[in-house]
A and B are shown apart, each in its own frame.
Chain A
Amino acid sequence: MKLVVAIIKPFKLEEVKEALSAVGIEGMTVTEVKGFGRQKGHTEIYRGSEYTVDFLPKVKIEIAVQDEAVTSAAEAIVKAAKTGKIGDGKVFVLPLEEAIRIRTDERGETAL
């Protein structure tokens, strides 16, 4: 089992969700985050004083998947979230040791 973590631009969330649904992945957890990589922030001005905002709003998606589904999930995310412009984000794949469905106490792949 793997945990696929993706940081994407916020307006791409709907598209990524639909792309994942098309490859059979229906569940996910979404968090609003801030961050930056090589994309620079921007300058804002408030009552006469300038300041830089380095942290840009992003959305983090987490999905737990079976090993066989990782490639298609990652590819779906990348394709849907890409704009070609700086700040598109990243996808990370982490090993997932255990998964438990709280309602039924199922463990392992059946819990996904």
Chain B
Amino acid sequence: MKKLLRKLTGPLLFAIVAIAVFDLTPAMAQEEAGPVDEYLELVEASGAEYAPAFDFFTVSMLWTVIAAALVFIMHLGFATLEAGLTQSKNTVNILFKNVWIISIGLVTYAVLGFNTHYPGDAWQIPGWLGINGPIGNLNADGGDTWGYGGLSLAMTGYGDFIFQAMFAATAATIVSGAVAERIKLSSFMIYSTILVAFGYTIAGSWHWGGGWLSTLGGGDAAFYDFAGSTVVHGFGGAAALAAVMILGPRSGKYAKDGSIKPIVGHSMPLAAVGVFLLFFGWFGFNGGSVLSANPGPLGLVFTTTALAAAAGGISSILISWIVLKKPDLSMALNGLLAGLVSITAGADAVTVFEAMLMGAIGGVLVVFSIIFFDKIKIDDPVGAISVHGVCGIWGTLAVGIFGGANLMSQFIGVIGVYVFAFVFSGALFLILKAVMGVRVSEEEEFEGLDISEHGQEAYNHSNT
């Protein structure tokens, strides 16, 4: 009996304390303001029926910041993919550029990018150009609740900012892969800063920022780009093409007799890990673009995204095996990415089987595109122009074919953004070329950028 009482004492005490605290809680709430109070105030102010809305908002915001972190992981993917598909004598340089891009991307987005991407009412040329300044306190004026964007943009101001900020740097990183192994570091650092700060944000403002692409046909025939096949990937791909055309190919890649001498990547494991990280991050890229935790679209987007990638992988494998006689790993990896870019414009607007078809076609396109660009002597070490540029076009048009968007508007959007990106990037590159040069010397290229630009090696196996 005594033993039993002793055993019960603990739980009994706990129960007494719990009840006491529970009973005390309403009294305490009235004395100190806390999250519970704010919630209750909101509920009273908006009407009791909005209580569930607050729950939905909270969950959505949580998803948004997780998605932002997932998009951040894509930078890890880019870094490893680019490192894997280039030579080991340039690995430090590749990684360095990727560190720069994420850093300058986030900073410029806070300093002017976000408000230029989303000018709101502050356009200089309405619908076309709205360069603005730094973000302020985005939690102010109801920006920390659904006062910011309602329940269709169910995140706080900071949530919106950080999610979009992670996207911004990906545009420059697409270019970094294409210009790898011969670009001059300082020129690239300046180029990428301006590209992300202004090029990407201006192009994006035309659509997501409420500009002319979003008001085509009075809004009825608006351009449709769910997560950025055109405004992110296409922008990067077109910018990369202009840069590579001006930069020229790596030395020795194209012989005078027309033959191609492959410059083999130094680490297939890094490349593969990079692609899988990109795939992983894409769940945030597309999933976060639902802009809330709305279960219906969220589940659909995750599914279409994953299946388009898978279909792209399979079709790339099949096509490259047939055309090239051997199954090429780098093509298979590019196929996964091609599928992902192809679904990015319409992940929320198509069925699962349409998604697979879109991804599969992307996988075929990317193989032929990579071979084609090499044939016309456009040297793209990682296939960025093909994966992002070509498949970006396909993904955008495919929403017009399968997803109910206006096909003509899709064409207009593609042409508008691609031409702008190409011209902006090309002009910037030409200016830099004239002012400071954009390419390392042939000797520096042979020695490797790690030694010539950085004075350090990526793989130092000598032990002391």
Contact = CB atoms under 8 A, between A and B. Distances in A.
A15 B323 CA distance: 41
Interface string B307-349: 0000000000000000111101011000000000000000000
Interface stretch (B197-205, B256-264, B291-299): B256-264
B383 A47 contact: yes
B254 to A, nearest CB: 10
A45 B326 contact: yes
A48 interface: yes
Contacts of A11: none
Contacts of A50: 262
Interface string A20-59: 0000000000000000000000000111111100000000
Q: How large is the interface on A (under 10, 10 to 19, 20 to 34, 35 or more residues)?
A: under 10
A45 B326 CA distance: 8
Interface in B412-461: none
Nearest to A51: B262
A52 to B, nearest CB: 11
Contacts of B331: 47
Contacts of A49: 260-262, 374
A48 B325 CA distance: 10
With most chain B CB atoms within 10 A of its CB, the pick from A45, A46, A48, A51 is A48
B371 interface: yes
A49 B260 CA distance: 6
Given A45-B326, A46-B328, A47-B371, 14 more contacts: A45-B324, A45-B325, A45-B328, A46-B265, A47-B374, A47-B383, A48-B324, A48-B367, A48-B370, A48-B371, A48-B374, A49-B262, A49-B374, A51-B262
6 contacts: A45-B328, A47-B374, A48-B323, A48-B371, A48-B374, A49-B260
A45 B367 CA distance: 14
Interface of A: 45-51
Ranked 4 nearest A-B pairs via Cβ: A46-B262, A48-B371, A49-B260, A49-B262
B261 A47 contact: no
A46 B86 CA distance: 12
A88 B371 CA distance: 37
Nearest to B85: A47
A68 B324 CA distance: 55
A11 B328 CA distance: 26
Contacts of B324: 45, 48
With most chain B CB atoms within 10 A of its CB, the pick from A46, A50, A51 is A46
B330 A46 contact: yes
A46 B87 CA distance: 14
Contacts of B370: 47-48
A27 B326 CA distance: 43
B261 A51 contact: yes
Contacts of B328: 45-48
A51 B323 CA distance: 16
Contacts of A51: 261-262
A49 to B, nearest CB: 4
A50 B367 CA distance: 15
Interface string B259-285: 011101100000000000000000000
Interface in B53-111: none
Contacts of B325: 45
Contacts of B323: 48
Contacts of B371: 47-48
Nearest to B261: A51
Nearest to A46: B262
Contacts of B264: 46
B84 to A, nearest CB: 13
A51 to B, nearest CB: 5
B90 to A, nearest CB: 17
A47 B383 CA distance: 9
B330 A47 contact: yes
A54 to B, nearest CB: 14
A46 to B, nearest CB: 4
A48 B265 CA distance: 14
Nearest to B334: A47
B88 to A, nearest CB: 16
With most chain B CB atoms within 10 A of its CB, the pick from A47, A49, A50, A51 is A47
Contacts of A46: 262, 264-265, 328, 330
A48 B262 CA distance: 9
Interface string B366-382: 01001100100000000
Nearest to A48: B371
B368 to A, nearest CB: 9
Contacts of A48: 260, 323-324, 328, 367, 370-371, 374
A45 B59 CA distance: 49
A84 to B, nearest CB: 28
Contacts of B261: 49, 51
Nearest to A50: B262
A51 B370 CA distance: 17
A47 to B, nearest CB: 6
